[in-house]
Amino acid sequence: MRPTTRLTLLASALLVAPAFVALATAAPLTAQQATFAAIGSGSATDATPTFYADVLPVLQQNCQTCHQAAGLNMGGNLAPWPLVTYEDARIRAPRIASAVREGRMPPWSAADWHKGTFKNERVLEDDEKATLIAWAEGGTPAGNPADAPPTPDFVKIASETDGWSRGEPDLIIEWAEPYCLDDDLRDEYVNLSAQITEEMMPEDRWIKSIEYRNGPAVHHIISAVGALVPGAEPRVYEDGYGRLMRAGPREVRFQMHFNKQPGPGTAVCTNIQAGIIFKEDGEVIRHVTGGNSLRIRDWEIPAGNPAYSASVEYVFTEDVEILSFMPHMHLRGTAALYEITYPDGRHETLLHVPDYAFNWQHTYEFAEPPQVPAGSIMRFTLWWDNSENNPSNPDPSADVVWGLPTHAEMSQGYMNFRRLEERHIVVGEPIPAEFRR
Ligand code: HEC
């Protein structure tokens, strides 16, 4: 996270300081700090960061979107416990230190040199890392609660809306009946439909955000209201951007992948919820977003091959701005690369994921979208490790081809872009015919 966010946080902490006046006047501040530090640990020195002043701001900005009671449900990838209170963090201090030191947390897979490129990046600054480690190893002092920054809005929203991180949805789509899986089932691929009635959706509307909450054993979902894979965040269409959702009555089809450990007593019934928030009347949409999937075809990964790679090229036929990428492979996937050659011969790497993780299928959203003139060529390359040295490899003795099950492989890169030509569509006014196909 960038330091500017922290400065704003610290500034707002000062603003709410009056809330703690009762506490602070009970004793001179210095004496009070000493008392709290002593509660945390006898071994802490003045130089040791404290929980309330130093650690909590880092946790709020970098960990609590997921590590809170109603944390993000990213395709069923839920953080195991909250890191909100002093006690939450104190009892897990050694694990926090090792997870940040070894770069497992916060989860993010883009190459280090991309720092600052993606607006949804999850990266700790060196000093933030150092703070967490020094606190964990320095006796985990609590410090003074008056130093605590205010609870972030996203934590309040999620706890008030039962886990919908963007606020209560306008529309929730789910199956009429839960779907049940038997004891001996491991993977199942089915298409399931949910009904959108006329009452639910009397007219076409512009989508502002889509967030999924999954029941158990839902591995991933592909549907016309947006795909959801392990580790994915809610999809948000920011000011000026929009995507149209058509009126009911109609069916929305979900291509489901269920996955669980088979065995006695593992049968489970499950459902999904897609929560949609719509844009408000009067908002102006300037960019209707589109996308494309870069598919790599005709490959076969030989058994035992530690570094198989395959590529595809894509030629842009109009001027666009690239908004985001999302590479998708299964368990043997190790790396992804998006490179572009512009018509004037310039060549640039737009995204390098050197350490792809199946459980964290991030969407990489550009802070400053690259401008891509017609005629530019995108080269998309993926790598797989089909050797026995890959701990996630389900079967190093198999030649692997394309297929939906997790033990087969997939080979695509989603790419979201927008056309440079601007529109002026006012939400609530008639929708131009070209979008109502
Ligand atoms: C995008 C959501 C998300 C964010 C942000 C996040 N975590 Fe996690 N965290 C998870 C999930 C999900 C798991 C369990 C699955 C796993 O271990 O990968 C987890 C597991 C952990 C674990 C136990 C496993 C391990 O690798 O040691 C620790 C410790 C941890 N997180 C600490 C943190 C800290 C500290 C931060 C902030 C600096 C953070 N996490 C940010 C989602 C997140």
Average pLDDT (242-248) is 82
Q: 3-state DSSP: the chain helix, strand, coil percent, rounded to 5? A: 20, 30, 50
Rama region for 60: left / alpha / beta (φ>0; ψ in -120 to 50; rest): alpha
Q: Which amino acid, one-letter code, is at 324?
A: S
pLDDT in tens, 303-320: 999 999 999 999 998 888
Pocket of ligand 1 (CB under 6 A): 62-63, 65-67, 72, 77-80, 92, 95-96, 99-100, 104-107, 122, 124
Rounded to whole angstroms, what are the CA distances from 100 to 131, 132, 428? Answer: 11, 8, 47
Residue 381 CA to ligand 1 center (angstroms) comes to 28
Kindly state the percentage of the chain with pLDDT values over 90: 46
For 415-437, b where at least 16 C-beta lie within 10 A, e where not — what string?
bbbbeeeebebebeeebeeebee
The per-residue pLDDT for range 106-161, each reduced to its tens digit, is: 999 999 999 999 999 999 999 999 999 999 999 999 999 999 999 988 888 877 87
Q: How many residues does the chain have?
A: 437
Q: Could you report the per-residue pLDDT of 213-244, keeping only the tens digit for each?
A: 777 777 767 665 555 555 556 778 878 887 78
User: Domains along the chain?
Assistant: 3-160 (no CATH), 171-286+424-435 (2.60.120), 290-419 (2.60.120.230)
pLDDT at 146: 95
- Amino acid in position 145: P
Cα separation, 365 vs 352, whole angstroms: 13
Cα–Cα distances in angstroms (integers) from residue 101 to residues 3, 97, 130, 134, 343, in the given order: 19, 6, 9, 11, 42
By three-state DSSP, how is residue 113 classified? helix
Q: Which tens digits make up the pLDDT trace of 62-80?
A: 999 889 877 665 655 678 8
- Residue position matching structure tokens 């770069």: 103
Nearest atom, ligand 1, residue 96 CA: 29
Q: Are strands 218-223 and 272-278 parallel, antiparallel or unpaired?
A: unpaired
For 28-53, what is each residue's pLDDT tens digit? Answer: 333 334 334 334 444 455 689 999 99
- At 65, list the tokens: 């979107």
* 69 vs 278 pLDDT, higher one: 278
Q: Give the model's pLDDT for residue 32.
A: 38
In this predicted model, what pLDDT tens digit does every residue of 399-429 receive, in sequence order? 999 987 778 898 988 888 887 778 889 999 8
Please choose from 105, 154, 155 the residue to mutate so as to test ligand 1's pocket, defined by most ligand atoms within 8 A of CB: 105
Of 66, 90, 109, the residue with max ligand 1 atoms within 8 A of its CB, to mutate for a pocket test, comes to 66
Higher pLDDT, 47 or 23: 47
What pTM value is reported for the model? Answer: 0.77
> Average per-residue pLDDT in the chain?
83
